[in-house]
Amino acid sequence: MLLPLSSQNVIQYLQAAGLCSSEDGKSEIFELPSNNKNCNLVVDLAGNRKLLVKQERGVTNDGILHELFNEWLFHQLLQQFPVLGNISAIAPLVVHFDEEKSILVRSYLSEYIDLRESYQNSNVFPTEIAGAIGTTLAALHRTTFQGKEYRNFMATAPQGQFRYHFYNPAQGIASLNPAIFGKISTEALKFHVLYQSYESLEAAISDLAYEWNACCLTHNDLNLNNILIHSRWNQLDNCLVQFIDWEACTWGDPAFDIGTILASYLGLWLESLVVDPTLELADSLQLAMIPLEEIQPSLVALLQAYLQAFPMILEYHPDFLVRVIKFTGLALIHQIQDKINNCKLFDNSDIYMLQVAKNLLTIPEKSVLSIFGISEAEILSPVAKVHHTSHPDKEKQLVRLYYEKTRLRGC
């Protein structure tokens, strides 16, 4: 039985762990919003030092708590492989992990703010920030791409066990069963009814799960809430962003990470829709408080920065952009499911989000222009130039299968 941490006993725990002392004086403690699984406490210590103390409360089917172990394992990975630790946006922040009590302590970045909150407060979407996100994510994927040493390291499990498989998050929504009726509201049931009425949607998700190709280290929960931006980002040359909460990280598919963050951007647009029963979907999309046109430059900047920093992914997956679009649609569906689980709500705006998600999953090629505002060729154009210059000798290795001056037989 775990001893639950609270504002009353967290200082005693930190003192026992050697992370603070009685000489630090009175400390301020406040609790961050959390889900049913975790408790998050911020402790303000002397010397302008802040710690975030996290305790996992949910238990898996096998009785072992895994998520905070995952974050600790990622911290160990950065220590083991300095080439990863040198990527500033994923620099190690963890200072203590108690596996027995499932408690993790990391430095609290007081000069950074939540990117979603920043966007919602300013309604401004600088492409520099999106570009920094794309470049950083590409560095993580590129560095670990097809690296057996990284894959084997992430196979470590709690208590010295070994993970024989990695979770595939490309999953749809479970079918309705009697147990669900007691857990969600009548309104939320509409989501399941609509979802299961689209046979093409379930087929597209099944295909995406089948095509899942784990080839590098992935964050697996890279939404705007898990990206911090420096409060003075426009005055700095680097360290613009910081990725946090690596609880879901594993060996995975890079397209899933890109799709997740793009869906989080699209969520800002879709959540700002003007919803009215008398309006058609197209009209509601046009009347959004945050127009898609304002977000599109950031979507393009993020994707192009990623591909320019990791052009080799296009050789490995020539259809990478289409796969990203599909994962974006899947991530939107997961957003709806999370809202239902946390708020027990499903309204007209979610119906619109489900429709957009369906289009992304079932007609991804046609959705590129509507989501990004430019064609696939225009998105890949600057990337193709970089990729071409990085392989100057490629043509010399080809064997000619034709004569430059063709001659017809008998002439």
In residues, how long is the chain? 411
Q: What is the pLDDT of residues 184-199, one digit of tens each?
A: 677 677 888 888 888 8
The residues pairing with 103 across neighbouring beta strands, listed in sequence order, are 55, 98
The residues pairing with 390 across neighbouring beta strands, listed in sequence order, are none
Burial 348-374 (b: 16+ CB within 10 A, else e): ebbebbbbbbbbbbbebeebbeebbbe
Range 1-108 classified under CATH 3.30.200.20: yes
Residue 411 has pLDDT above 60, yes or no: no
Residue 386 has pLDDT above 90, yes or no: no
Residue 279 has pLDDT above 70, yes or no: yes
Structural contact between residues 293 and 287, judged by C-beta atoms closer than 8 angstroms: no
The pLDDT of residue 176 is 66
| Alpha-carbon gap, residue 48 to 25, rounded angstroms | 12
* Integer angstrom CA distances of residue 363 from 292, 323, 358, 367: 19, 11, 8, 6
Q: What is the pLDDT of residues 39-78, one digit of tens each?
A: 889 998 877 789 999 998 765 444 445 778 889 999 999 9
Mean pLDDT of 87-113: 89
The pLDDT of residue 312 is 95
Q: What is the pLDDT of residues 116-165, one digit of tens each?
A: 999 988 899 999 999 999 999 999 999 999 999 999 888 876 665 555 55
The pLDDT of residue 162 is 53
Residue 393 has pLDDT above 80, yes or no: no
Percent of the chain residues past pLDDT 90, beyond the cut = 45
The pLDDT of residue 56 is 83
| Alpha-carbon gap, residue 58 to 37, rounded angstroms | 5
Question: Cβ–Cβ contacts within 10 Å for residue 83, how many?
Answer: 10
The pLDDT of residue 168 is 82
Q: Where are the CATH 3.30.200.20 domain residues in the chain?
A: 1-108
Residue 349 has pLDDT above 50, yes or no: yes
Task: Give the list of residues 6+ apart from residue 137 with CB closer than 8 angstroms, or none.
Answer: 219, 222, 257, 258, 261, 306
Backbone phi, then psi, for 138, in 5-degree steps?
A: -65, -40
Task: Give the list of residues 6+ apart from residue 48 with CB closer than 8 angstroms, or none.
Answer: 110
Structural contact between residues 243 and 123, judged by C-beta atoms closer than 8 angstroms: no
What band does 35 get if pLDDT is binned at 50, 70 and 90?
low
What band does 264 get if pLDDT is binned at 50, 70 and 90?
very high
Residue 81 has pLDDT above 50, yes or no: yes
Q: What is the pLDDT of residues 167-176, one digit of tens each?
A: 788 887 777 6
The residues pairing with 216 across neighbouring beta strands, listed in sequence order, are 252
Mean pLDDT of 256-276: 92
State the maximum Cα–Cα separation within the chain, in Å, rounded to a whole number.
100
* Integer angstrom CA distances of residue 224 from 119, 140, 245, 267: 9, 18, 11, 10
Mean pLDDT of the chain: 83
Q: Which helix (H) or strand (E) holds 354?
A: helix 348-362
For tokens 């993970």, the residue is 163
The pLDDT of residue 283 is 77
Residue 183 has pLDDT above 50, yes or no: yes
| Global pTM value | 0.86
Task: Name the nearest CA neighbour of 57 among 40, 32, 73, 39.
Answer: 39
The pLDDT of residue 255 is 97
| Three-state DSSP class for residue 358 | helix
What band does 22 get if pLDDT is binned at 50, 70 and 90?
confident
Contacts 24+ apart (CB under 8 A), 194-200: 194/351, 194/354, 195/333, 195/354, 198/358, 200/358, 200/362
Residue 245 has pLDDT above 70, yes or no: yes
Mean pLDDT of 270-278: 81
Q: What residue type is assigned to position 84 of the chain?
A: L
Mean pLDDT lowest among 59-68, 110-119, 244-253: 59-68
Backbone phi, then psi, for 187, in 5-degree steps?
A: -65, -40
The pLDDT of residue 391 is 43
Residue 368 has pLDDT above 60, yes or no: yes
* Integer angstrom CA distances of residue 369 from 124, 126, 127, 152: 22, 21, 19, 39
| Three-state DSSP class for residue 201 | helix
What band does 284 get if pLDDT is binned at 50, 70 and 90?
confident
Please tell me the CATH code under which domain 112-386 is placed. 3.90.1200.10
| Alpha-carbon gap, residue 147 to 84, rounded angstroms | 12
Q: Where are the CATH 3.90.1200.10 domain residues in the chain?
A: 112-386
What band does 240 get if pLDDT is binned at 50, 70 and 90?
confident
Number of helices (H) and strands (E) in the chain: give both, helices first.
17, 10
Percent of the chain residues past pLDDT 70, beyond the cut = 83
The pLDDT of residue 361 is 95
